[in-house]
Chains A and B, each alone.
Chain A
Amino acid sequence: MSENILYKEFKSTLGAQSQNKKLHQTLNKSLENYHQKYLNGINQFENISSFKEKLQIIRSKSILQMEKYLLQFEGNFKKNGGELFWADDANDVFNLIQHIIGDNIKSVVKSKSMATEEIDFNAFLENQNIKVTETDLGEYIVQLRGEKPSHITAPALHLSKDDITLLFHEKFESSPDASAEEITAFVRKLLRREFTEAELGVSGANFLVADSGSICITENEGNASLTTAWPNIHIVLAGIEKIIPSFTDLGYLWPVLSSHATGQKISVYNHMISGPRQEEEGDGPEKMYVILLNNGRDNLLINKELRQSLHCIKCGACSNICPVYKIISGHSYNSVYNGPIGSVTTPHLRTDANFFHLSFASSLCGKCTEICPVNIPIDDLLLYNRSLAVEKEKMPKSEIRAIKLLSRILKSRKRMNMGSSSIRSLAFKIVFRKKWGVLRAYPDFPKTNFNKSRKK
């Protein structure tokens, strides 16, 4: 772990990724389009900064009193006829699923859920010969490609329209120049069959509402509607941080989530599901289960700085405007949660490996903090992670030592004034040969530094 294998791997991809013009073109096109929509979307708020403050209060209340609200949610959801389980990690989830479905399930449909990505849920089902179909178009595309989503709200952001047309041509022999509309229509038809055959629908949740015992899902494709209503069983897997106190909070959260995720004023479909089908109701699943997932979130919760990262409502806006994300795209992070907020949380969620280098892979430009709809001080938390990484020696010792050495020079005026310009220049070239000199010209060192020349 101390060898920083992931750090080395990460660095080794940067040369190619920074020159991946095709990827950059794809990302730029989508993200510039996003930005225009975003600007339009936030126009609906008279004063976005005071709106964000209100959201920050709602989210910090939710997280600080998480235990109380989760128990309230549990009580109300059960009252509505649902069943609820608590899972600490992936294995807990798998055991629970086994317990719920037994051997009776052959086919599963899923709507978008990052919590299931966290624990490789699909692989678990497929190992038992259960067919799993992602029903969100973007998720379906990455599933066909055998990839993880590259973005938390736009799973196939790394793919161009041509990439997708080619994929469908290869997999389904559709026309090699099918339009986006034709592909969507084709997938819709294909998925209809999956919906009607599936015995189990699995979804995530955008929010868990304590005072009504409801799970909330926001979407644009209608696939979550079918996933949660058609099959006879509905299982929800949701992180514990999704809790909010009251359904009245949705009036704030839903519009801000939509405007930051996609630039819409509000998403097309917004569901509040409070339990399984009731006696007088015509549709909905017979059984509904909620599994609340921890999976390392307690590591964030116990730390008063990092706790703020749990306020995240997973809109993905920080990735959309991140200059680093725009170069390397989501997969390079090697983590389900990527982009700026992923770089904050992953080192603590994934304690099985060392992900601290992600917190250093930022120029700290502050755009993430500026756009965050719930005011998470993302760049500040990246700095905090860096201090933890140094303290716990999670970065190469040589890098930590180099800064210590430099600081020793910076602490002393005498040392800062030592050496001629040619010696300084030589030292710079030796120390930064690979890190500076390959892609940039070396700086010209003046004959004397300012302090020395002023003393003369």
Chain B
Amino acid sequence: MEVDVFIPCYIDQFYPEKAENIFKILTSLGVNAHYNPNQTCCGQLPFNSGNRVEAEELASKFLKDFSGSKIIVAPSASCVHMVKKHYTKFFFNTSLHLELKNVQSRIYDFNDFLINVLKIEKWEGRLNASVCFHDSCSMLRHYGLKTEPRQLLSMIQGIDLIEMKDSSECCGFGGSFSVKFPELSVEMGMRKLQNAMDTGAEYLVSTEASCLFHLDSIIRKNNFNIKTATIADLMAMSMG
């Protein structure tokens, strides 16, 4: 299968190894993963900040960068939700209406893609680690998946999933919210981390790297004893 991979801007900037992991996993599953080097950002950052003009410009660019007919895979339910839902506000009933519908029908979050498109049922890889799972708001409430990420986690041999209290409570990142209201953002993060550490797990795992970006910075500031990883990170680690 041929797919186009979208690497969200913050992953591109902060987490090149998380991006590498996506390609590594897809390749190992026999997927031919393409990367258009012109791609930049889905536009969610200006959109969530109310700057719709800039968001629409980025959205138009995204539609161009991902034209064609290949399935689009992105390691972020948040960005995919931006494309699938909010792009409609820009392009519905415009000259780009068909391009919009075309891209919207082809784009998947990485975890969704593995379970519901590739329909993988097992994963060759072992990693002995205890983990707790944070349901990101975008994956759970916006994108609408709860069981798939857990299904994927359970396929990695040696993973011990300990459910945490309030796993569906927000981590407090929220894009520009995290810098406009740092006190609120960090207090929400502290609550999340407390619940995570109460499980005694080695890793706090989520599908959304942006949640982990924020949580990890709180962990390091306070020298908390827990690590963060995406499911894809664990899968890549399990490959040895």
Q: Do A and B bind each other?
A: yes
| Residues of chain A whose beta carbon lies under 8 Å from any beta carbon of chain B | 11, 14-15, 17-19, 323-324, 327-328, 360-367, 369-370, 383, 385-391, 395, 399-400, 403-404, 406-408, 410-413, 416, 424, 432, 434-436, 438-446, 448-451, 453-455
Chain A residues within an 8 Å CB radius of B58: 407, 410-411
Please determine whether B12 and A390 come into contact, CB atoms closer than 8 angstroms: no
Closest to B8 in A: A450
How far is B9's CA from A268's CA once the two chains are assembled, in angstroms?
54
Tell whether B101 is near chain A: CB-to-CB under 8 Å.
no
Please determine whether B16 and A395 come into contact, CB atoms closer than 8 angstroms: no
Chain A residues within an 8 Å CB radius of B187: 18-19, 327
Q: Which 3 A-B pairs have the closest CB atoms?
A: A363-B174, A386-B50, A365-B170
Please determine whether B16 and A450 come into contact, CB atoms closer than 8 angstroms: yes
Please determine whether A383 and B47 come into contact, CB atoms closer than 8 angstroms: yes
Please determine whether B180 and A360 come into contact, CB atoms closer than 8 angstroms: yes
Take A15-B183, A441-B220, A446-B14 as given contacts and tell me if A369 and B141 are in contact as well, using a CB distance cutoff of 8 Å: yes
Q: Which of A395, A404, A413, A455 has the most CB of B within 10 A?
A: A413
Chain B residues within an 8 Å CB radius of A413: 37-40
CB distance from B139 to the nearest CB of A (A): 11
Closest to A407 in B: B54
Q: Which of A18, A19, A416 has the most CB of B within 10 A?
A: A18
Q: A361-B181, A451-B39, A454-B37 are in contact. List 4 more A-B contacts (CB 8 A).
A: A18-B186, A365-B141, A383-B48, A445-B14
Chain A residues within an 8 Å CB radius of B137: 363-367
Tell whether B221 is near chain A: CB-to-CB under 8 Å.
yes
6 contacts between A and B (CB under 8 A): A365-B170, A399-B49, A436-B217, A438-B182, A439-B221, A450-B11
Please determine whether A323 and B142 come into contact, CB atoms closer than 8 angstroms: no
Closest to A438 in B: B182
Closest to A408 in B: B54
How far is B182's CA from A441's CA once the two chains are assembled, in angstroms?
12
Within 8 A of A (CB), among B1-53: 7, 9, 11-17, 19-20, 35, 37-41, 43, 45-52
Take A323-B170, A366-B142, A445-B14 as given contacts and tell me if A439 and B177 are in contact as well, using a CB distance cutoff of 8 Å: no
Chain B residues within an 8 Å CB radius of A363: 137, 170, 172-174, 177-178, 184-185, 188
Please determine whether A450 and B19 come into contact, CB atoms closer than 8 angstroms: yes
CB distance from B2 to the nearest CB of A (A): 18
| Residues of chain B whose beta carbon lies under 8 Å from any beta carbon of chain A | 7, 9, 11-17, 19-20, 35, 37-41, 43, 45-52, 54-55, 57-58, 61, 86, 137, 141-142, 169-170, 172-188, 191, 213-214, 217-218, 220-221
Please determine whether B12 and A410 come into contact, CB atoms closer than 8 angstroms: no
Please determine whether B37 and A455 come into contact, CB atoms closer than 8 angstroms: yes
Take A365-B170, A366-B137, A440-B218 as given contacts and tell me if A403 and B182 are in contact as well, using a CB distance cutoff of 8 Å: no
Chain B residues within an 8 Å CB radius of A383: 47-48, 50, 86
Closest to A410 in B: B41
How far is B61's CA from A436's CA once the two chains are assembled, in angstroms?
30
Partner of B45, one of A390, A403, A450: A403
How far is B89's CA from A95's CA once the two chains are assembled, in angstroms?
45
How far is B43's CA from A400's CA once the two chains are assembled, in angstroms?
15
Chain B residues within an 8 Å CB radius of A432: 179
Partner of B16, one of A369, A370, A386, A453: A453
Partner of A403, one of B38, B51, B185: B51
CB distance from A86 to the nearest CB of B (A): 35
CB distance from A370 to the nearest CB of B (A): 6
CB distance from B15 to the nearest CB of A (A): 8
Please determine whether A364 and B45 come into contact, CB atoms closer than 8 angstroms: no
How far is B106's CA from A67's CA once the two chains are assembled, in angstroms?
44
Please determine whether B51 and A439 come into contact, CB atoms closer than 8 angstroms: no
Take A439-B186, A439-B218 as given contacts and tell me if A449 and B16 are in contact as well, using a CB distance cutoff of 8 Å: yes
Please determine whether B179 and A451 come into contact, CB atoms closer than 8 angstroms: no
Q: Which of A361, A399, A407, A412 has the most CB of B within 10 A?
A: A407
Please determine whether A406 and B12 come into contact, CB atoms closer than 8 angstroms: no
Partner of A323, one of B57, B188, B213: B188
Chain A residues within an 8 Å CB radius of B174: 362-365
How far is B40's CA from A406's CA once the two chains are assembled, in angstroms?
12
Closest to A424 in B: B13
Please determine whether A410 and B9 come into contact, CB atoms closer than 8 angstroms: yes
Closest to A328 in B: B184
Q: Which of B38, B39, B48, B50 has the most CB of A within 10 A?
A: B50
Chain B residues within an 8 Å CB radius of A408: 54
How far is B191's CA from A364's CA once the two chains are assembled, in angstroms?
17
Chain A residues within an 8 Å CB radius of B176: 360, 403
Chain A residues within an 8 Å CB radius of B47: 383
Partner of B54, one of A404, A438, A450, A453: A404
Closest to A439 in B: B186
Chain A residues within an 8 Å CB radius of B183: 14-15, 17-18, 439
Chain A residues within an 8 Å CB radius of B57: 407, 411
Chain B residues within an 8 Å CB radius of A406: 45-46
How far is B237's CA from A261's CA once the two chains are assembled, in angstroms?
47
Please determine whether B141 and A367 come into contact, CB atoms closer than 8 angstroms: yes
Closest to B38 in A: A413
Please determine whether A390 and B50 come into contact, CB atoms closer than 8 angstroms: yes
Please determine whether B13 and A416 come into contact, CB atoms closer than 8 angstroms: yes
Please determine whether A450 and B7 come into contact, CB atoms closer than 8 angstroms: yes
Please determine whether A389 and B50 come into contact, CB atoms closer than 8 angstroms: yes
How far is B40's CA from A447's CA once the two chains are assembled, in angstroms?
18
Chain B residues within an 8 Å CB radius of A370: 141
Please determine whether B184 and A18 come into contact, CB atoms closer than 8 angstroms: yes
How far is B188's CA from A323's CA once the two chains are assembled, in angstroms?
7
Chain A residues within an 8 Å CB radius of B39: 413, 451
CB distance from B216 to the nearest CB of A (A): 8
How far is B55's CA from A327's CA once the two chains are assembled, in angstroms?
31
